[in-house]
């Protein structure tokens, strides 16, 4: 079982992610203050950008939600942003504790980092995690990563103890697309016990046309914002998801712990056997989502066990390709200024 002693101080080399050699420097970044955000980015083709936005925010719980829990919980969340002149795309991983051999608890993702609770003391001296910018020897940014220990609050379900997992999310430019990124989640069990969990990935495309299959269960693509950008999600990658769901807006009735919980309970019977578009293995160009438009998507990995000191990886490959003449793209400094001011969005 996990102990109540403080875990080791986080350093950038605690998980083998390919950037721990002397070829790279990993610069720790400042953390945002309460109810603010901070972003780090790297360049892609034609003034497109990607990076990670770290957000500090508070959730006010009242007696009508979260099983009657009340008070305020402050925590950090982090999300990918991928943007160009025409569109902002964002996404994030959720890590959910198993409650039995088939199901997980969707009450609160272990990837969140709570650091204050008005009702209880959060016993995690490293609750704020660490945020790093990765550079090569020439000083060029090669990626962004965030490390944190799993924390429990009054809301968290399942039986995974405090500080049981060390998690790292790593964003790097795609090796196969000049407009794409690899978004990886590493999970290391730092206890001497075996636990089970499930992982999903939620991406928001802010409106798009009907998604179509890439064929051979390689994923899907859709045009967005008046045909000015193309979103592509590639699933047949190493450690990629085994299920995928391009979707349109869904109303979640009261009583469900979030969107994925509702989809699974309304269209399947458990986290493990809920199937998506992969079940059809559609030929390239086939319209998905029953021919309806897509404005978000979900990716799912199997419910899995993780042994003591084992590290597991999850990976999503995402692309946002601008369409049209290159001289219509905003320069990087303009995009970053608009992102900071909220005129274009890098986070929900």
Q: What is the mean pLDDT of each run of 10 residues along the chain (348 residues)?
A: 66 94 91 64 68 57 46 52 62 88 82 56 54 90 88 72 90 84 94 94 81 95 78 93 85 63 70 88 94 88 95 92 55 51 40
Task: Look at residue 3 and tell me if it is in a domain.
Answer: no
Distance of CA 164 to the CA centre of its chain: 20
Q: 121 near 183, Cβ under 8 Å?
A: no
pLDDT the model gives residue 123: 46
pLDDT the model gives residue 47: 64
CATH of residue 226's domain is 2.70.98
Task: Look at residue 280 and tell me if it is in a domain.
Answer: yes
Task: Look at residue 346 and tell me if it is in a domain.
Answer: no
Task: Look at residue 269 and tell me if it is in a domain.
Answer: yes
pLDDT the model gives residue 344: 45
Beta 24-28 vs 212-213: how paired, if at all? Answer: unpaired
Tokens of 196: 């089970």
**Which residues form the domain of 322?**
24-341
Domain count, the chain: 1
Task: Look at residue 309 and tell me if it is in a domain.
Answer: yes
Task: Look at residue 165 and tell me if it is in a domain.
Answer: yes
- What whole-number distance in Å separates Cα of residue 156 and Cα of residue 160? 9
Task: Look at residue 179 and tell me if it is in a domain.
Answer: yes
List of E strands, the chain: 24-28, 37-43, 49-61, 71-83, 88-97, 113-117, 130-136, 141-149, 165-173, 180-189, 195-204, 212-213, 219-224, 229-234, 243-247, 296-300, 304-306, 311-322
- Tens of pLDDT, residues 215-226: 999 999 988 766
Phi/psi of residue 123, nearest 5 degrees: -85, 70
Task: Look at residue 158 and tell me if it is in a domain.
Answer: yes
pLDDT the model gives residue 34: 62
Percent above pLDDT 70 for the chain: 62
């Amino acid at each position: 079982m996990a102990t109540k002693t403080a875990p080791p101080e986080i350093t950038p080399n605690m998980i083998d992610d390919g950037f721990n050699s002397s070829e790279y420097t990993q610069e720790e970044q400042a953390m945002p203050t309460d109810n603010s955000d901070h972003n780090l980015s790297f360049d892609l083709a034609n003034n497109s950008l990607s990076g990670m936005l770290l957000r500090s925010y508070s959730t006010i719980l009242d007696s009508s939600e979260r099983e009657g829990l009340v008070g305020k919980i402050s925590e950090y969340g982090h999300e990918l942003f991928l943007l160009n002149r025409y569109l902002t795309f964002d996404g994030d991983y959720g890590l959910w504790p198993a409650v039995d051999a088939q199901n997980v608890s969707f009450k609160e993702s272990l990837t969140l980092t709570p650091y204050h609770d008005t009702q209880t003391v959060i016993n995690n001296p490293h609750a704020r995690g660490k945020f790093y910018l990765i550079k090569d020897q020439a000083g060029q940014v090669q990626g962004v990563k965030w490390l944190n220990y799993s924390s429990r609050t009054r809301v968290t379900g399942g039986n995974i103890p405090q500080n049981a997992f060390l998690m790292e999310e790593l964003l790097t430019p795609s090796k196969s697309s000049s407009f794409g990124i690899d978004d990886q989640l590493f999970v290391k069990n730092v206890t001497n016990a075996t636990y089970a969990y499930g992982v999903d990935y939620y991406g928001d495309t802010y409106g798009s046309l009907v998604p179509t299959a890439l064929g051979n269960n390689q994923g899907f693509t859709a045009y967005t914002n008046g045909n000015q950008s193309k979103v592509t999600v590639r699933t047949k990658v190493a450690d990629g998801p085994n299920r995928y769901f391009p979707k349109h807006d869904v109303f979640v009735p009261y009583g469900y712990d979030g969107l994925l919980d509702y989809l699974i309970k309304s269209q399947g019977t458990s986290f493990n056997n809920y199937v998506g578009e992969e079940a059809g293995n559609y030929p390239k160009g086939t319209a998905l989502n029953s021919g309806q438009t897509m404005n978000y998507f979900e990716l799912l990995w199997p419910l899995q066990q993780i042994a003591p000191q084992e590290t597991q990886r999850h990976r999503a490959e995402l692309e946002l390709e601008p369409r049209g003449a290159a001289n219509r793209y905003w320069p990087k400094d303009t995009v970053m200024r608009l992102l900071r001011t909220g005129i274009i969005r890098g986070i929900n």
